[in-house]
Structure 1
């Protein structure tokens, strides 16, 4: 017996030793790719020494003898910290994810190849201005120089992910940077899905009910809905239960094609000297994109010949997208310009390779492309383009559900340009010394459209950047739903002049701002959009701005961190009006008593979506259950597309606007229901869900438990065990309709997870520019073993910021490393 125990002990120790060695080996290999910030590197491609000072948050401050050398240093720093992220974005643009991830990535690759994103980026290189061309080439040399350091120094392949998904890393090129820009344009685009969803609603509902479900923003005149269903007989629409399988969760994080509810959003506002306590301009900006680990944003300071520039960049592109220089500050918000149209093309019944045009049938532009798939046979795709744009297969965006038989759908989008000079425009913006120069820079910007809020020391302005398509006044659908592509009046007539884009300067009230709300009201075809990103946050913003005669950096920060829901304050009294404080107190333990407790909590709530309170969770669960009850019977499976509560829809229903209270009657029941009944039933649904999900007293619930920010690794975030090391989760305040937006997922399993928000925040104070502040949601490094992978996360969560100073002495004093790049001896 003792011998058996001895051998068992030896076996256990041997196994433990092997496991320890395996973990040590894995850690050693992975840690080899953590970059050394305090080092000297000999490189090719620069004229003189480049110095990269990383301050105490690992924000690089880059100095060089020439601007090209500085861009080289930025490429070097980006690659050091975010190589895997950059390579994945490039592969996404190329349509080459399947080479790493197999068949589950085919859906993304298929669409990217059909849109021809990467080829369009390559063709756009020649259209950049000379200064941008030099910057793109210098930046690419910097990235490639770090790749050379990895190869010669055996630096763990550059990132630990490359051990799990081994692949050769091609040299970086200027086209890659332009392609990354196009990927970001996709992140901000939602017009295509709006057209498809509106059309599906028109096919399923009476016309008067469509304007309830997909309403125009409050305060905007209602425009007549296009009679899309009259363009084709309804019998010609195919009935498909489902198309392609949903994306594998591991791949979904890589896809740039966001659902309508997740199209980019942002906040930006500015105060003129007359509204600033210090007598100079103020600017706040917090762009909203999907959360990830690491963040899409990367903080950087570059010192060009004209002076310092500091702010938020995106690895892969040599531009500060939101930030300040010695001269101006600028911030971006999604403009929601209607720069996408879906066209229905009629096929030639005698030859399916031809489609109808205003002058007769014409052959598609056809070419084939091969997608290599890991552990599977290569796939050959046949790509077809028309004069209106690329053909979309029925499976993408469920476009087949609104495509009549004998037809195909094509996408018109301004960003599908082989002459895309957006990077040049952003470079000019970044280097502008006056607001006039900054506004002029936008003339060559293509898309996706952005509202650019600008300040210098004395003036504030807002200008919409982006190419707007010119539509005919007699366009059949006004671009709101798909239109026959063979009719001349439905086709784009070129682009509108840049002067057409909205522009606001020196407002009388001294305050400018945008929360993706409608900024201008012009009739079609001179409109900007029918579909806007926000109708709620702007109301809270107006109140905060007008509560003070003058503003400070701190009041602008307060606005960025504001978590009061104007929506909750507005619609709760409508819905609960007949339920609050009604009837005698019910016995403890009954559903009636639980309902009374919930209503009492909400009646005394101020609408603050605070992570520590139960009321936001009760409210959110109730509104979600209510909308589901309102639409499920009329829409059936289409109801699954409406994943987020639409407060304008609920407002119309409970005010009975144009008879919208008809939604409260459950179609399938024999007994008519009213809106009070449905509110009560939905509240009971929500309370049951809360009990099943959290199993605790209502007063013990916490919004932050349900509303965790999900900064997940795009590839490894769903992988068992590894997800605990690579994902960053944080309890957060805010919600779908607060200025500190925390957009919820809308999924069935975790409907209130915080999946999108202000991954970057910046406040620029031109009374004392070096007192400006900024922050990102994770950390600078993309390496999970680096201490800079998540070191900004808790600061961000608590609403804290880092100093945004251009003082090199300050950066040097608290640096975590100073790297010197020296040119190879000649």
Structure 2
């Protein structure tokens, strides 16, 4: 590979990476422990301050002369010409002022090759860490800190499933995956790690001797497993319910899981019905002859009681998921995980063309999860059918969310319950299934640990799935405490045990990658739905708009059909056949969908998908719909003609502004109770006065929002921490808003009482304490004068690099993390910046990007707008590492050029990939 022009320091000596093919990567070469370790213990009598001072001087001198070279050495070349092996014709990569690449090629192979090449330029370290995570090999890079994660992933077998998916894919998908991998490997070929990413320099300085393996198609597929895992449904809720029942009893535990209120929040699809397994949007009544909704009668209730009683000992566990939960939160997890997606027909827009908005709420990190890109065939044909732009995942070819020349689409999490835990009764290597015994399958997995000994485990699998209690202490206690019905007959002798297995739709090999590239090529509603029929995991809501003026919605993903004994809310007895899945899934044609719905608007913000009479059971744990209702009300207000706007339409700018709405739905519910408490004038009432006339908005600079959220956090602590184990302490998200909303109506509900005191506390007593405690907390944290408080001063965004920003030392965290930015919003606001009330106010999940697509005719797509949480680059000191963050914070967006003229007008750098001579 040669280059006509390159950034300073980008050349380097050859260092060919070793590796394997499409299967499990071979273990990298042995790691050496840092030779610096011997200097950790200082000689006796040496003053540490003198030692540090000398070192700092030496370091500063060294940094002055070498830091620029070290840092810039891995920056991508963005202009000039590079000769590469693996393409048939020249490829152009045009980058705009934000560094966003738009690729132009003459064939699918060349286009995807270039996407792989560019992804490796910008984000290879991120890609490499992700593939180690999804293969259960993080400990090879990061040592024992990553071991628990690796053991859990090896048990789940993500990469094994990805390998099984590869032969299921369509030929055109295989072509794209293979070409993408070739592009990545062409970039790596002969390139030392210091020219790939600064993180490798840091890891090497710590003693890691490492060269990346070649990228494979399976690496791309395995990352889709991680995405599906983070959006899998209510697995932790199953255990949490057991803990809650044990702590406060069944009846009071049910208060913590209020049912979805269809009167307060409309589902996504409000028309149609299922007839003979097909959802028909114009049907007025269902005609399915054999509904599969699990019953909730006496048999199911009895099984729930048995599980809850038998797992009582689990209440001693303070934190769940000590194995499974140690996996990096690549996409975020918890109540804040969700998304907004909505679409408005041209009948209601100022342009007369549809507008589509989306902003997935995922975990915050640096870099963020998305890489913006455009993929354009110079001439559209069967050999090169792509003209698409949007957001991709580093390591995965194509565009995940965005638009092509004909259609636009956006995702939000469906929230279907696609995972179940089973308590297994095992005797001498077999698991009880009804009156039969089924063999428990075993395989050996060895995890290499940097700086430590290899760890070998035996992974066991039942007919339900892998036994996860073997690598998770909390689930192991669940297994040990699960006699359930028949324990006396089972006994507790040698060779007999209880264990917990996991069923998950993500274990079913499926061609989800076909769906991604099918969406990229789709030219209309039928092709859109055809593509989504291959989308297996994670289950998603997908909103749609096209250039012909149509809008729509389609639910997609595998949703299991359960037998009569299981509704997925609690772990089930694995030996009882009525608890099993049937082996069938809700048919794709039976999932809710609608084209050009009545009203001309679709809002999909994680609320219920269809009306309560929908015959298939999807989940009992819908998001309560606060964001969906707020978006709908904002749209309704915008569509009402006024004196200043007689059109009664919505504009692209108004849609963008709606994404920033920070109103809390809890505000109008809780604030009257807070104002009704009489506090002493002066110090304590100063915060309370901020709430008088408050509009319930939560901008970063709001003193009222700071006080309200501090009161909310203290209220949750005072109300629930005394009775619930720490693992169940409220995070303050949408479920807890629903819980407290109902609780406020009963001033003497037992939850208000503090069981640690002799008094019997009531609602008003707890509210008063929360008001006082919040005042003291904000005085300590921010200022004595209440008007000087700010919500953003509590609610900060810290962008951490994964995983060095979490597991690294202080210097490593300082190098790669970018943090302490004041942020507005909250978990139930449209601007969904979630925080965990059990631990603090720091942002845990947030809109990972925002986009609004205009489906105007001609070059109207060029009116679209987009923004990323961080930036295109994964290089910590590159100009595009977090260059979009300030705009994201301010609610601003970037132009989204799509037509070739607009892309070329916006281009500031052009890199040409040219076939190498003789290749």
How does the TM-score come out when normalised to structure 1? 0.91
Partner of 1:755 in structure 2?
844
Equivalent position to 2:633, from 543, 550, 567? 543
Alignment of 1:325 onto 2:404: yes
Q: Which moves more between the two structures, 82-91 or 306-315?
A: 306-315
Residue 770 of structure 1 aligns to a residue in which SS?
helix
In structure 2, the CA distance between the partners of 1:241 and 1:672, relative to structure 1 (3 Å rule), is closer
Counterpart in the other structure of 1:209: 252
2:372–2:391 Cα contact (<8 Å) kept: yes
TM-superposed CA distance for 1:661, in Å, is 2.3
The answer as to whether partners of 2:867 and 2:893 remain within 8 angstroms in 1 is: yes
Tell whether the 8 Å contact from 1:226 to 1:478 is kept in structure 2 after alignment: no
Task: Name which of 602, 611, 614 aligns with 1:521.
Answer: 611
Aligned to 1:161: 199
The correspondence of residues 143-542 of structure 1 with structure 2, limited to 5 A, is 143-148=184-189, 151-152=190-191, 154=192, 156-165=194-203, 166=208, 167-219=210-262, 226-232=301-307, 234=309, 237-239=312-314, 241-242=316-317, 254-256=328-330, 259-262=333-336, 264-304=337-377, 305=380, 306=385, 308-348=387-427, 351=428, 353-393=429-469, 396=472, 398-403=474-479, 404=482, 406-417=497-508, 419-457=509-547, 458-472=549-563, 474-475=564-565, 477-493=566-582, 494-522=584-612, 526-542=616-632
Identify which of 790, 813, 824 aligns with 1:733.
Answer: 824
Q: How does 1:762-781 map to 2 (within 5 A)?
A: 762-767=851-856, 768-781=860-873
Q: How far has the Cα of 1:37 moved from its partner? A: 0.5
Deviation of 1:522 after TM superposition, in Å, equals 3.9
Taking structure 1 as reference, are residues 317 and 259 closer, same or farther at Cα in structure 2, changes over 3 Å only? closer
* Structure 2 Cα separation of the partners of residues 346 and 488 of structure 1: 13
Relative to structure 1, the CA distance from residue 544 to residue 28 in structure 2 (aligned partners, 3 Å threshold; closer, same or farther) is same
1:99 alignment counterpart: 140
Unaligned 5+ runs, structure 1? 1-11, 587-592
Shift of 1:636: 4.1
Instruction: Give, in whole Å, the separation in 1 of the partners of 2:667 and 2:472.
Output: 35
8 Å Cα contact 2:320/2:474 also seen in 1: no
> What's the offset of the Cα at 1:40?
1.4
What CA distance in whole angstroms lies between the structure 1 residues aligned with 2:311 and 2:553? 46
CA change 1:399–1:155 in 2 (3 A) is closer
Gap change, CA 1:721 and 1:696, over 3 Å in 2: farther
User: 1:643, CA displacement in angstroms?
Assistant: 6.1
Partner deviation per Cα, 1:445-480 (whole Å, 9 max, x = no partner): 1111110000012111111110111112x22x4111
Offset, 1:252: 6.1
- Between Structure 1 and Structure 2, how many residues are aligned? 789
Structure 2 residue 898 is matched with structure 1 residue 806:
yes
Closer/same/farther in 2, CA of residues 498 and 787 from structure 1, 3 Å limit: same
CA RMSD of aligned residues (A): 2.5
Name 2:772's counterpart in structure 1: 684
Secondary structure (helix, strand or coil) at the match of 1:438 reads helix
Written as runs of structure 1 = structure 2, the 5 A alignment for 1:122-133 is 122-133=163-174
Instruction: Specify the SS of the correspondent of 2:699.
Output: coil
Contact 1:653–1:660 (CA under 8 A) maintained in structure 2: no
Alpha-carbon distance in structure 2 between the residues aligned to 1:15 and 1:676: 56
Q: Tell me which residue corresponds to 2:796.
A: 708
Give 1:16 deviation, angstroms.
Answer: 4.7
Q: Please give the per-residue CA displacement for 1:583-613, whole angstroms capped at 9, x wherever unaligned.
A: 7x63xxxxxx333222211122110001011
Structure 1 pair 784–235 and aligned structure 2 pair: CA distance change class (3 A) = closer
What's the CA shift for 1:198?
1.4
Flag the 1:699–1:18 CA change in 2: closer, same or farther, 3 A: closer
Runs of 5+ unmatched residues, structure 2: 1-52, 265-294, 484-496, 640-648
- Structure 1 stretch displaced more, 289-298 or 211-220: 211-220
Shift in CA distance, 220/319, structure 1 to aligned 2, threshold 3 Å: farther
Tell me: CA distance 1:253–1:161, structure 2 relative to 1, closer, same or farther (3 Å). farther
**Structure 1 residues 246 and 186: CA distance shift in structure 2, 3 A:** closer
Relative to structure 2, which stretch is displaced further, 688-697 or 496-505?
688-697
1:664-707 deviation per Cα after TM superposition (whole angstroms, max 9, x unaligned): 12234333221111110122122222222224321101111111
Contact 2:339–2:361, Cα closer than 8 Å, also in 1: yes
| 1:489-513 alpha-carbon deviations (Å, 9 max, x no partner) | 2111121211121112212111101
